[in-house]
């Protein structure tokens, strides 16, 4: 096995173990045993489990973000862009369930990696312009689009986390129902929403 092949093998083994046991629950000894190598081989390639974890997280984040960006950029029309972004996330979860389990967990203490919340904020920033344009077209306040982008992306992401383990519904059904709530909800929004209060209550 070449050095490059060994590195990829260790990344694959590490991805499986980190997804199953978490960062804290995984040891270098377990990684080495699963890869059928000695501990020094792991240290030689990554400097320890921290280095291996950082490489895996970085790779998974880039795969997810590139998929979402590509989907959004290639779609035409606001609704299609939201649909494309939703499908890109669900496609990633379906193809890389271990990777999604890793990046959707809280980063370990002392980690310099990007958090899941940061990833979602990055995606939300790409959705802001889509929403701002639609808000302007519908007589809503475009300056509110950043907040609504966070809401929309959060709804999609956390539904994806639920779907990761609850596979009773197929991907298309999950995506279409997310779009049903997101898009139909957006189409009926009020320009100046207010909370409903019962008479006599603050």
Per-residue confidence band for 189, with pLDDT thresholds at 50, 70 and 90 = confident
pTM beyond cutoff 0.75: yes
pLDDT for 88-120, tens place per residue? 999 999 999 999 999 988 666 555 556 788 888
Q: Say what the pLDDT of residue 107 is.
A: 63
Angstrom distance (rounded) from CA 176 to CA 188: 18
**Residue 197 confidence (pLDDT) above 70:** no
Q: Specify the higher pLDDT residue, 96 or 184.
A: 96
Domain boundaries, the chain: 3-188
Burial of 142 (0-12, 13-18, 19+ CB in 10 A): middle
Q: Say what the pLDDT of residue 137 is.
A: 86
Alpha-helix runs per DSSP H in the chain: 3-21, 28-35, 39-46, 49-74, 78-95, 97-103, 116-137, 145-165, 171-187
Fold classified for 3-188: Tetracycline Repressor; domain 2 (1.10.357)
Angstrom distance (rounded) from CA 61 to CA 51: 15
Residue position matching structure tokens 């501990």: 39
């Amino acid at each position: 096995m070449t050095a490059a092949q060994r590195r990829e093998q260790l990344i694959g083994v590490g991805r499986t173990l980190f997804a199953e046991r978490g960062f804290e629950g995984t040891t270098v000894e377990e990684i080495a045993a699963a890869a059928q190598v000695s501990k020094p081989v792991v240290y030689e390639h990554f400097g320890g489990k921290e280095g291996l974890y950082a490489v895996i997280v970085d790779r998974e984040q880039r795969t997810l973000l590139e998929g979402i960006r590509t989907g959004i950029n290639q779609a035409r029309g606001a609704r299609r862009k939201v649909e494309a972004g939703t499908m890109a996330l669900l496609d990633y979860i379906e193809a890389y369930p271990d990777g999604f389990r890793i990046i959707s967990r809280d980063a370990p203490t002392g980690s310099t990696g990007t958090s899941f919340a940061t990833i979602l904020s990055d995606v939300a920033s790409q959705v802001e312009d889509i929403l701002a344009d639609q808000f302007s077209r519908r007589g809503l306040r475009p300056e509110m689009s950043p907040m609504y982008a966070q809401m929309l992306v959060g709804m999609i992401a956390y539904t994806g986390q639920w779907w990761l383990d609850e596979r009773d519904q197929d991907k298309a059904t999950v995506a279409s129902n997310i779009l049903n709530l997101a898009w139909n909800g957006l189409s009926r929004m009020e320009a100046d929403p207010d909370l409903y209060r019962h008479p006599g209550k603050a």
